[in-house]
Amino acid sequence: MYNYFYKPLLLFVDNSQCIVIIFLIKSISISYINYFKKLSIMDQAQISRGEILSILLRLAVATAASYFTVKILVSAMDPTACQKKEAKKKAQEIFRKMNIKSKDSLSEHELMIASQLVTPGQLNTSWEDVAGLSLVIQEIRETIILPILQRNRRNASQLIHPPKGILLHGPPGCGKTLLARAIAQEAGVRFINLDVSSLTDKWYGESQKLSSAVFSLAAKIQPCIIFIDEIGILETMKQLPMMKAQFLQQWDGLATDHSNCILVMGATNRPQDVDRAIIRRMPAAFHIPLPSVTQRKEILKLILKSEDVNRDVNIDNLAMKTDGFSGSDLKELCRTAAVYRLRHLLLKGNELLDESDDEDIKPITVEDFVHSLTKMRESRVLDRSANVLLKMDLD
């Protein structure tokens, strides 16, 4: 009799957690039926009230034991239980630092997403930290930041609102993530650095709930930017079409409700690989190219602003010789040069390494930059050779 009810359920369940729960419910229900059969037999035999209360008490104890057993088993079967617990603690700590008072009204899934909020201390980035992108910054200010700051203005046009989707695309290491943080800082909005892999969950239906939680959390703490680095990863979610569909559906809701100040911002190195459905939801796109000679000069000046550099170092000449370098490449170039100047400390022995004074540290010289530049060019040649060999193997 019971199999007619439970066997069809098992056909639609692809998750061991639900299967265990179904079998536990089945065993509990059978126990209930057996107890009620005993009660009916005892009622016919006119058993005393004390015996009936004893049976009901045992039934209550069995029910409580079954409930806690199910709870412990479900918790033990979830390999990410500790990770989720840590994420909730982190979210509560972030809310405390950001003085957000709505943490008590957040759901379990919203707390999971809230752990990816970036605090103002971590977001400490301004336009002064971005060099060589003055034209892009001006366009971003006009297109994004100005509408955000003027959204509550009286008698404002209904068309004055920021775009709900923003795409930053260009070669790696050119400052896309840095730009996203600077936008959030200047606009005074909250910043969720969303890890798309955190939306995937092995339990049925959990991924869709996490996708919805991203936007429901953003609505509660708005104004807010949802930043997705390497947004092309959404294209790899074809194995989770329901979760991807839920995410895009929630995203569409932002375009129809202009009262919400929630922006989805994505960054990618390969815009041609991003799903057309995602591109369509990002009307504001900004190309962040490799820096020109003038831009490289500005970047180098910013990096070396607080460094002790020898007078023989010519920034203009260094900018000319770093053609094809990104912003991160230039920073690594300067870092390697700064470390290379410490090589003379090794000659003094290990005992003096920790006891060296500031006077022992020499300024960064042209020789240091030449060594660093030669080393980086060699590594770039090796990377290109490895890519060529990889393509040959694939062909």
3-state secondary structure string across 30-67? HHHHHHHHHHHHHHHCCCCHHHHHHHHHHHHHHHHHHH
Mean pLDDT of 178-207: 84
Q: Looking at 94-98, 127-131, 171-175, which range is the least confident one?
A: 94-98
pLDDT value of position 5: 47
Cα separation of 70 and 67, whole Å? 5
What residue segments make up the domains of the chain, in order of their start?
3-77, 84-287, 293-394
- Arithmetic mean of pLDDT over the chain: 77
% of the chain beyond a pLDDT of 70: 70
Two tokens, residue 67: 């409930």
pLDDT value of position 293: 93
Mean pLDDT of 317-333: 91
Instruction: Encode pLDDT of 187-197 as tens digits.
Output: 888 899 988 87
What homologous superfamily does CATH list for 84-287?
Answer: P-loop containing nucleotide triphosphate hydrolases (3.40.50.300)
Q: What architecture (CATH level 2) is domain 293-394?
A: Orthogonal Bundle (1.10)
342 — pLDDT class (breaks 50, 70, 90): confident
Instruction: Encode pLDDT of 62-92 as tens digits.
Output: 777 777 776 666 666 555 566 667 777 777 7
pLDDT value of position 12: 42
pTM, 2 dp: 0.73
% of the chain beyond a pLDDT of 90: 22
pLDDT value of position 287: 93
Q: Is the pLDDT of residue 386 over 70?
A: no
pLDDT value of position 285: 92
250 — pLDDT class (breaks 50, 70, 90): confident
pLDDT value of position 394: 38
106 — pLDDT class (breaks 50, 70, 90): confident
